Every structure is written in structure tokens, then in C-alpha cells.
Amino acid sequence: MRDAWFFLKLFKPYSAWLLAGVALSLLTSLAAIILLTLSGWFISASAIAGLVAIDGNALAFNFMLPAAQIRALAITRTLGRYAERLVTHEATFRVLAHIRSWFFQHTIPLLPGRLALIRSGDLLSRMTSDIDALDALYLRLVAPITVAIIGGVVVTAFLATYAPVISITNGVILLVAGLLIPWVFNQLGNEGAERITVLMANYKIRQVDTFQGFTDLVANQAYDRFSAFLSQFSDRMIHTQRQNNQLTAISSALTYLLSQVSLLLALVFAGFLFTENKLTGPEVALVVFCVLATFELVTPLPQAIQMLAKLQKSAQRIRQIVELEPSIKEPQQAVLLPKQFDLHLSDISFRYSQQQDWVLKHINLSILQGTKVAIVGASGSGKTTLLHLLMRYYDPDLGEVKLAQQSLKSYATEQLMTCFGVLSQRSQLFAATIKENLLIAKPSATTVELDAAINAAGLKKFVSSLPDGIDTWVGESGVKVSGGEARRIALARLYLKDAPILILDEPTEGLDADTEREVFNALSDFAQHKTIVMLTHRVVGLALMDNVYTMENGVLSQL
Amino acid sequence: MTTRVHLTESANQIYFDKNKAREKICAVWLKSQAKKVRKSVLLATTVGIVNGGLVIGQSALLALVLQAIIIDKLSVESLIPYFLGLASVFIARGLCVYSYPVFGFEAGARIRVNIRQQLQDKFLELGPSVIKQYQSGALATLTLEQVDALEHYFSRYLPQQMLVGILPIIFILVVMPVNWVVGIIFLVTGPLVIVFMALIGMGAASASRNQFLAMSRMSGYFLDRLQGLSTLKLFGVATAELKNINEMAEGFREKTMAVLHIAFLSSAVLEFFSAVAVALVAVYVGLGLLGQMPFGPAEHITLKEALFVLLLAPEFFMPFRQLAVNYHDRATALGASDAILAVLEQEPVLKNISTHSYCNIDKSLIIFNKVCKNYTQRTVLIDIDLSIQKGEKVALIGESGAGKTTLINLLLGFEQPTSGTVLLKGDIVNQTKSTKMIAWVGQSAAIFHGSVKENIALAEPDASLEQIYEAAKAAGVTEFAGLETQIGERGYGLSGGQLQRVALARAFLKNSEIIILDEPTANLDETNKIKLLEVIEQLFKDKTLIIATHDPLVIDRMDKCIKLAHGEVQR
């Protein structure tokens, strides 16, 4: 419930929309109830008036007015329902669009340090399907419950003016059907619902496990066994769902029965009141039809309460991300960026968590501006972590990283980022044109500057071979770009950004020998006066370097 | 960054046309699957029909009671039989309300079990070389969520579809003798509802594709930006990107609302007709009761008849309304079946080959005879002629991309040669035979959730504890883990070298004639390498051993070396 409340606060800017939705929805529900009530009364009154007329007395019954009212109510109900749906959904989707950008905004400070362990697919599903699931919060939960409460009170008050007994019994039964039964069955079904979530998660893990080890399973003739095991799992899942489905079926049968009990009681009471002359004939029909109609108010409630668990889950998954502390803190008062960029690491130790082993152990390293340093080591030796500390993705547990004799912690991160140009084996290309991909590095770049960058990165031939040239759409759903070309685009970005410190993380990994040579040639021209920190696990491109270090198990030593 | 979102009309049109044909295929497939759960669907439908009959009974009883009280002024006590009748109808309807979803569930459950099984079998039929091309996450979603998404088509939509064909006719047949004018009102408005809903439904289909397109674009865009968020931050444009995210989300909202607009319009039409019909009935019988309707049976209508038809009027439209609600289930199932069919429709690349012995004078254990392998784009192996004798130790070397992996896959029967033959003990290779005769350890051996023991006994689940222990000991697994040690997903908690040992123990326990190891020493340092090689030598000294490798340390220890370059054997 607390999670639901948390998100309701985000709905606030849209409260006018939300209120209008509830109001329309209430109007529509009441119109439907009045329509049936009035029709019942009208028919009975007509019947009695008709009998009187046959008796020969003058016909005093004005049938035009109720007939017109019935027509008006029918139209109100139809139009009202349509308008209500439009408004409530419009309101909801406005809120969801807002929550989506709010979510994205909150992930910005968390990357890359804090979210390194969460896969992008998982993050995406939180940003799409989990946020989508929040639509139930207003549409299925808040709006129907508000309408049911207000509508229930209005109907009970209305019935009380005719027959207090019927009003009270109907009110009590409404409460039981609308609140007690959904609540009880939600409690009963809770365990099963949780079991299903757990079973589903486990099924998925095992299924992924099976696919990832598919070749091994087939080669070891073990696939059939694993597949049979998965089927058993699926059977257990379905069995639990069957039990839950049964509970839901019982709950809707009970709700239905309660509504009929209320109807039957109303009928009996109305009969007695009629014989005691406390109700006229048409009023009997009015009361009975009104009771019949009110149960439409509570029919959406069992489903609403069932939604709560799922809603809770999604809400939690969104909150988990949004409420993460960033791995680094911004300084209270940021120091301005220096004019020179000497880096000093003094006695740095780092581990990702208290439970894990030290990744970096007592590292001392000075990189003066303009020097070129290579760190050689196997994957897993800790060299990438060292880079992350240099760029302050994380803070070291012990020791300090300094830029121009000032702790990294004293610079604003956004400022600090302008000091680094990164070229790595995972050069991220965005689904956009080549030009837009380059402009990320320097939004104000002129055509001349862009051309220069393309030339320097050796992209000229590739770009001019494309029919749309620099405006060619690349990335997903665009032109396929080879690994070498992607790396060159990243290189052109590096050129445009023109940062004083270049971070090269296995810059030529996965490229063929020719491309590798060209990349290094391009780099050596453009990076002449820049600081370079290069990671590699092979002995390539070391000729450019002033100092070469090796990294092994978190310990750095000079070669 | 000024990224535009491409959603042009012509692109959409192409997308629709392609989808229309596809949707038809999916719809036909769904129908064909329905045959498997016919019984449950029919049961649910029967319950629905019984419920409809009870609605008629309930309306009649209610009308009778009101007539008795209001017009005939009978005492409440004398009406007790009617009340009891009503109560029993209520209980019977309660049972229907309960059993309708219960029967429906069985239909959905049985289908899901069946299709999961079809998928699992298909995966095996397609084999590792095809499965590797999929993302495991996507396949897991397919077997779990997508299959679940089919449920409501069978459990709700199908029974409701049948009810729409039956219940309105029953209602009309019942009303006709009571009041034929009302019967005609039903007869006219019922089909009108269907026609208008179908008209609007057509528009809805195209709008919902629009929305689907917008949704996949939005997801793609978000994934792109989330994956590249570090890069965006590095260039200081992450905050600027918020504007685009906002635009995307707003665009999605507009598309979603366009779809809902139509959906709401269609239900508004339904409501409109049902409201008009109810109002017509009410006014007609009301005026008739007043003696103001000199037309049709209303002239001499009684209150009970009037109330009966009035109560029945909204119930007549109930099946249509319910179907409109369940229509969404159909759309969901169609979407899911598209993805499921994409896998089920795939032609297996492995053809069934007769395992008849191949006449050959060469008695070598493994023979490659003029083997070529082409993929659509490129040729991987050209005219490979090889023979390996029993007990030989062979190093298979070559640059990455030279065709080593393909060669091994052919030998394992995971793929088949484009031309030429691969023989194992004189027979043409197939997957069943070769996986029995060969123990294979991949570059990064798969380790499964469970204990070390279970992982070693992967190929021999019936092996005794002693046998497993012996294998573990021989491969040096016992040096770092006990048999009951639990290892997590992808061997979490074990180092690369340790994982290799577990895999070697697995191969040793399998005790096949041929052992194939793919780059066993990659990612290991010198000391560990030598240790591992000694273990390998010890374990497989009387086996035929093939090791794919770059490593000179490994090559030195082998009897024979086969070098692949650009798809050809170089000796």
C-alpha cells in the first residue's frame, strides 16, 4: 500500500484530469442505476394507471415526462461511459509518460557505477512494462473504489427515503460484497500468487540455464531430462494457477449470490411494506429494480484488489531503481577544472562490496600530463576497474585519486567528464544518423569540424560510399556497420570532443590487423600532446607508450 | 542530440500488409490448436448456455412475483413457493458463475502444457547451431510469458464466441411468443451491433498495429538510450536526452489513445444500441400498459409480461458486451502466436539420414570425405579430407574463423555438410549417434544450477557415487570442491580453470571413445595450463583425443596436427 501511495504522489500534477475522470465515471454509474430504477417504476405505474383507465376513470398519469427521462438517461449513460473512458485513460497515460521520463532522469546519476550489475534488458522492462502496469493504480483501483463508495452512499440514502429496512440490508450486503469478500479472498489467494511469482522466476532461470548450456546438454544427451524437469515445473505452476483460479471463481460466485440475496430480501420486505401500505405498487418495483442495479458498483472491486499484488510488485521494481544511492556523491562546492591534468593515484585499494575480494590492492601511479601509459593484464586482473576509478565511476575504499593535486571528489562529475575521451571495444552507436552520433561529442560542431573528424578517423571512404552520406541511419534498424567502422565513428567522436586525457580500453580488440594499424596511426597523430591511458591484454601499440605497467590480481607493477 | 522518430505512413502501410497475411496464418494456427481442448471449451460453453436459460427463468419468476404483489395484491406468505424457486435459480446460477471459469481454465491449461512441449521438442530438433543464434532470454520469454499469453484466448474468448452465436437466438425464441414486437426489436438491433462493431473493429486493427509499432519503437529507443547512457553521460548530453525520452513517451501515449479511442467508440456503439433497445422496449410496453399503444401485443399486455421483457432486454446484449471485453484476449493471443509460430515453423536444418553403413574400405575411426560447408553468405569449409585413427591425439589448429568450430559441429552432428560425408566408425554421422560416442567440452563449459555431483553426472545420471567421485578426483575437482558443493548460474563461485576441471570430470565419467576439447587452455596462466594438460593427458590416455587450440604448449603434446586455413586443410 505504501508503494501505491508513493506513486499517487507522482499523479498530483494531473489531479484535474483525474478528478474529472472520477466525476464522469460516477455520473455514468448513477445514470445506469437511475435508468433501471425509473424504468421499473414507470412500467408498474403505467400498469396501475392502465388498470385505472380501464376502470373508466380519467387518465391522470403523465407518461411523457418519465419516458423522456428514460431516453435522456440512456443517452447520458452511453455518452458518459464513452467520455469517462477517454478522460480516465488520457489522465492515466499522461501520468505514465511523465513517470517514464522521471524514471530515466533518476537512472542518469546511477550509471555506470550503481547499475553495472543490472542488465539493460531488465532496466528496460522496468521502464516499459512495469511502468505500464501502474495504469491499474488509477484505472482499476482508485477510480472504481471512489465511485463505489460515493455511489453506494448515494443509493443507500435514496433507498432510505422509501424503505429504511431495505436500505440497511442492501447497504450491509454491498459492504460485504465490495470489501469483505475481495479482502478475504485476496488474503487466501496471496500465498498462491506469491508462489506463482517465485515459480515463474525459477522456471525462467532454469529455462535460461537450459538454453545457455544447450550445446552441452545435447552433447551429453541430457536435454530430454532437463526438458522433462521443466515440464514438471510448468505443471506445478499451472496447478497453483488452477487453485487461484478456483478461488477467484468462488469469490465471484459468492459476490453474485450476495447480490441475489439482497434482491430476494428486498422483494420480501417490499411485499410486506406494500401490504402495510407503506409502499405503493410502483414504489415496490422502483426499490427492487434499484437494488438489482446497485451491484454493478461493486463488480469491478474483486478484480481491483487482485490487481493490488501485481501493482505492488511493479511499483517495488521501479522504486528499487529510483531509490538507489548513486555510487558517488557530488561535492557540496565544486572546484573549477584545472588548466593542467596530472593524475596521481596514491595507495588505492578497492572492492565492489564488503563481501567480495579486493579488486585493486595498494596502487600507486602518477600520470603527468602528456605522458602515455599502457597497462597490460589479463581480463579480470582489475585494469578496467582502475580506469573506472580514474574517471570516478566509483570512489576507492582506501587511498585517493587526484587530478591536478585536488581530490577527484572535489570536482563536479559533469565537469570532470569533459576531461576524458574514451575509446573502448564497446563503442556505443545510437540508433540515429552518423551525423547525430558524432554530434553527441560536440553538439555545436560545424560541418568543417565534422569533416575533419571523419577524415582523421579514416571514415571518409565509408561515408562517401553511403547514398545518404553522413545522414545515413545507423545502429539498430539502420545500416549495418561493421565493428571496424563503429570503432572509427567512436574515434571521430574522440577527435571532436578533444579531451585532454584519452582513455583507451582495448581500443583495437576485435579488429583485423590492417584496421588496427590505421586506428593507431590516427591516434598517434591526434594524441601527440594528450595524456593516454591504454589498457590491453596483448602487446600491441606499445611503441607509442612512455611507460608500460602490468596488472595482475589487482597489483600494479612497472615493466 | 536531435534525434527524430521515424514513423512514416508508408512504412506503416507496408507493415500492415505484411501483418495482415501473417495474422491470418496465426489465426488459423490458433483455431487448429483449439481442437486439442475442444471438450473443455464445449463444457464451458454449455455452462454459459445453462446460465442463459437460468437468466430467463429468473426474469420470469421476478416478473411473476412483482405482478402478484403489485397487481394481484397477494400476501407475501402465499408467494413462498416463488421465493423458493427464485432462491434455487440463484444457487444454480451461482454454480454456473463458479464453473464457467473453472472449465475455461482447463482449456487454457492444457493448451499451454501442449505448446510448451511442442516448443521443447522443437528446440531439440533444431539443434544447438540454430538455438545459439537466439538470445536465451528471448527464448525463455517465449516458453513462459508468450505461451501464457495464449491462455485467455482458449479459456475466455472461444467459449464466449460460441455463446454469442447461441444465446441471443435463444432469447429471441423465448421472447417471440410473449411479445413479438420486442422480439423484432432484438432481431434488428442484435445484427446491427455486430455490423457496427465489425466496421469499427477494422479501424481498430490498423490503429492497434500503429500502437504496436510505436510501442516497439519506444522500447527499442529506450533500450538504445539505456545501454548508451554511460556514453551519453561521458559526453555530458544525458540530461539533454530527457527531452527525447519525453517526446517518445508522449508519442506512445498519443498512439495508445488513438487505439483506445476506437475501442471505446466500439463499446459506445454497443452501449448505444443496448440502451436504445432497452428504452424502446420500456416505452413500448409502458405505453401499452397505459393503453396508449394500439399496435401489436402491447394492447393487452400485463405487468408480468412487460417486466419479463424489460428484464430480458439488457441480458440480450450481455454476450455481445462480454465478447467485446474478451476481444482483447484474441489480439494478445495473436501477438504471442506470431512469436511462437516463428520458432515452430522453422525447418530443421538437420535432415533425417538413414544410418545405413557406408561402404568404405578405410577402417579409420573418423573420416571426412570431400566435406564442404556453405552458409548463405560464405563458404566455411572446402573439400576437407581427413582421417583420424583410434587412439590418436590430434591438435586442430588455425586462426579464429578458419572453420575449426564448424568442423567440430559437423563431427558432433549439430550441423550437416553441404556436400561430402562425415563418417564415424564407418557410419554417416547423426546427432544421436555422435553424442553417444563423443564427449565434448566446449570453450566455456556450461555449468548448471545444482551440486558439483549433478554437474559431473550430466551425461550419466545413473552413475554411482563412487564412479562420480573417481572422476572428480581424477580431474582434480576434489582439490577445490566437494561433490555436494552447490554451484550457481554459469558456475558462479568457480574460477575458469576450476570450471574446466568439472567439465573434464564430466567427459571422463561419460567414458566415450572420442574426446573433443575446444580451447581448453584459453584464459589460463602458464602454471595452471601445464597442470590442466597433465590432467588431460592422464584422463584420456587410451581415448581418441581431438583438441582445438592455438596454444603451442598443447600442440607439442599431441601426436598429430591438423591445420585449417581459410576453410582448407594445410598439412
> Secondary structure of A173-190 in the HEC alphabet?
HHHHHHHHHHHHHHHHHH
Contact B220 A431 (CB under 8 A): yes
Between A57-66, A133-142, B300-309, B479-488, the lowest mean confidence (pLDDT) is in A57-66
Q: Is residue A411 domain-resident?
A: yes
pLDDT for the residue A539: 66
Best mutation site among B70, B217, B261 for testing chain A: the one with the most A CBs within 10 Å? B70
Three-point CA angle B3, B8, B10, nearest 5°: 150
Best mutation site among A135, A224, A238 for testing chain B: the one with the most B CBs within 10 Å? A238
Does residue A313 sit in the same domain as residue A349? no
What CATH number does the domain located at B9-344 have?
A: 1.20.1560.10
> Domain of A471?
343-558
* Mean predicted confidence (pLDDT) in B265-277: 82
Between A472-481, A512-521, A546-555, the lowest mean confidence (pLDDT) is in A472-481
Q: H or E element: which one contains B428?
A: strand B427-428
Q: How far away is chain B from the Cα of A47, in angstroms, using its nearest Cα?
A: 5
Number of CB pairs, chain A paired with chain B, less than 8 A apart: 356
pLDDT for the residue A260: 92
Q: Given the DSSP bridges, would you call strands A547-552 and A555-558 parallel, antiparallel or unpaired?
A: antiparallel
Q: Does the bond joining A112 to the residue before it have cis omega, within 30 degrees of 0?
A: yes
pLDDT class for A500, splitting at 50, 70, 90?
very high
Between A142-156, A259-273, B213-227, the lowest mean confidence (pLDDT) is in B213-227
Per-residue pLDDT tens for A443-471?
899 999 999 999 888 888 888 888 888 88
Q: How far away is chain B from the Cα of A254, in angstroms, using its nearest Cα?
A: 7
* Mean predicted confidence (pLDDT) in B98-108: 95
Contacts of A282 in chain B (CB under 8 A): 70
Between A327-331, B304-308, B337-341, the lowest mean confidence (pLDDT) is in A327-331
Q: How many domains does chain A have?
A: 2
Q: How far away is chain B from the Cα of A292, in angstroms, using its nearest Cα?
A: 10
pLDDT for the residue A227: 93
Establish whether domains B9-344 and B366-570 are of one fold. Answer: no
Q: H or E element: which one contains A347?
A: strand A343-350
Contact B70 A285 (CB under 8 A): yes
Contact B234 A420 (CB under 8 A): yes
Would you state the cell numbers that stand for residue A257, as one nine-digit string? 449470490
* Mean predicted confidence (pLDDT) in B526-537: 82
Q: Which of A322, A354, A389 is the last residue of a domain?
A: A322
Q: Is residue A336 domain-resident?
A: no
Q: How far away is chain B from the Cα of A69, in angstroms, using its nearest Cα?
A: 10
Q: How far away is chain B from the Cα of A542, in angstroms, using its nearest Cα?
A: 22
Does residue A433 sit in the same domain as residue A311? no
pLDDT for the residue B488: 63
Based on its alpha-carbon atoms, the radius of gyration of chain A, rounded to whole angstroms, reads 35
Report the CATH number that the domain containing residue A361 is assigned in CATH.
Answer: 3.40.50.300
Contacts of A44 in chain B (CB under 8 A): 66, 70, 303, 307
b/e map A377-396, b = 16+ CB within 10 Å: beeebbbbbbbbbbbbbbbb
**Secondary structure in 3-state letters for A295-341:** HHHCCHHHHHHHHHHHHHHHHHHHHHHHCCCCCCCCCCCCECCCCCC
Cβ(B248)–Cβ(A101) under 8 Å?
A: no
pLDDT for the residue B133: 75
Best mutation site among B59, B226, B455 for testing chain A: the one with the most A CBs within 10 Å? B226
pLDDT for the residue A18: 93
Q: How far away is chain B from the Cα of A166, in angstroms, using its nearest Cα?
A: 16
Between A446-450, B16-20, B433-437, the lowest mean confidence (pLDDT) is in B16-20
- Range list of β-strands (E), A377-447: 398-403, 406-407, 420-424, 432-433
Report the CATH number that the domain containing residue A263 is assigned in CATH.
Answer: 1.20.1560.10
Which residue on chain A is closest to B66 by alpha carbon?
Answer: A285
pLDDT for the residue B3: 40
Contacts of B283 in chain A (CB under 8 A): 67, 70-71
- Range list of β-strands (E), B314-415: 366-374, 379-388, 393-397
Contact B278 A39 (CB under 8 A): yes
pLDDT for the residue B493: 64
Backbone angles phi, psi at B424, to 5 degrees: -125, 115
Which residue on chain A is closest to B412 by alpha carbon?
Answer: A219
pLDDT class for B240, splitting at 50, 70, 90?
confident
Q: Is residue A16 domain-resident?
A: yes
Contact B234 A89 (CB under 8 A): no
Q: Is residue A330 domain-resident?
A: no
pLDDT class for A144, splitting at 50, 70, 90?
very high
Contact A234 B116 (CB under 8 A): yes
Which residue on chain A is closest to B155 by alpha carbon?
Answer: A245
**Could you tell me what percent of chain B has a pLDDT over 90?**
29
Contact B127 A285 (CB under 8 A): no
Does residue A313 sit in the same domain as residue A382? no
* Mean predicted confidence (pLDDT) in B296-317: 87
Does residue A263 sit in the same domain as residue A409? no
Q: Given the DSSP bridges, would you call strands B560-565 and B568-570 parallel, antiparallel or unpaired?
A: antiparallel
* Mean predicted confidence (pLDDT) in A334-349: 90
Give the end-to-end CA distance of chain B in Å, rounded to a whole number. Answer: 55
Return mean pLDDT, chain A.
Answer: 86
Query: Smallest Cα–Cα separation from B316: which of B195, B199, B175, B179?
Result: B175
pLDDT for the residue B208: 65
pLDDT class for A58, splitting at 50, 70, 90?
very low
Contact B256 A93 (CB under 8 A): yes
Which residue among B1, B227, B242 sits closest to A104, beta carbon to beta carbon? B242
Tell me: pLDDT of B287 over 70.
yes
Which residue on chain A is closest to B83 by alpha carbon?
Answer: A264
Q: How far away is chain B from the Cα of A52, in angstroms, using its nearest Cα?
A: 9
Query: Smallest Cα–Cα separation from A150: which of A19, A326, A281, A338?
Result: A19
Best mutation site among B448, B506, B518 for testing chain A: the one with the most A CBs within 10 Å? B448
Cβ(B350)–Cβ(B123) under 8 Å?
A: no
Contact A86 B264 (CB under 8 A): yes
Q: Is residue A121 domain-resident?
A: yes
* Mean predicted confidence (pLDDT) in A423-443: 84
pLDDT for the residue A415: 86
Tell me: pLDDT of A256 over 70.
yes
Three-point CA angle B74, B76, B77, nearest 5°: 105
Q: Where are the domains of chain B?
A: 9-344, 366-570
Superfamily for the B366-570 domain: P-loop containing nucleotide triphosphate hydrolases (3.40.50.300)
Contact A215 B132 (CB under 8 A): yes
CA A455 from centre of chain = 42
| Euclidean distance between CA atoms B129 and B127, whole angstroms | 6
Tell me: pLDDT of A365 over 50.
yes
Question: Using N-to-C axis directions, what is the helix angle for A2-10 and A64-107, rounded to 10°?
Answer: 90
Q: H or E element: which one contains B533?
A: helix B526-539
Does residue A305 sit in the same domain as residue A392? no
Per-residue pLDDT tens for A164-207?
999 999 999 999 998 899 889 888 888 888 888 888 888 887 88
pLDDT class for A56, splitting at 50, 70, 90?
very low
Does residue A165 sit in the same domain as residue A260? yes
Which segment, A21-35, A309-323, A326-340, B244-258, is predicted with the most confidence on average? Answer: A21-35
Best mutation site among A28, A35, A43 for testing chain B: the one with the most B CBs within 10 Å? A43
Contact B90 A74 (CB under 8 A): no
Q: How far away is chain A from the Cα of B155, in angstroms, using its nearest Cα?
A: 11
pLDDT for the residue B279: 80
Tell me: pLDDT of B9 over 70.
no
Q: How far away is chain B from the Cα of A100, in angstroms, using its nearest Cα?
A: 7
* Mean predicted confidence (pLDDT) in B42-60: 96
Q: Which of A322, A356, A387 is the last residue of a domain?
A: A322
Does residue A416 sit in the same domain as residue A473? yes
Contact A271 B79 (CB under 8 A): yes
Contacts of A90 in chain B (CB under 8 A): 257
Cβ(B273)–Cβ(A113) under 8 Å?
A: no
Contact B236 A107 (CB under 8 A): no
Would you state the cell numbers that stand for residue B129, as one nine-digit string? 547451431
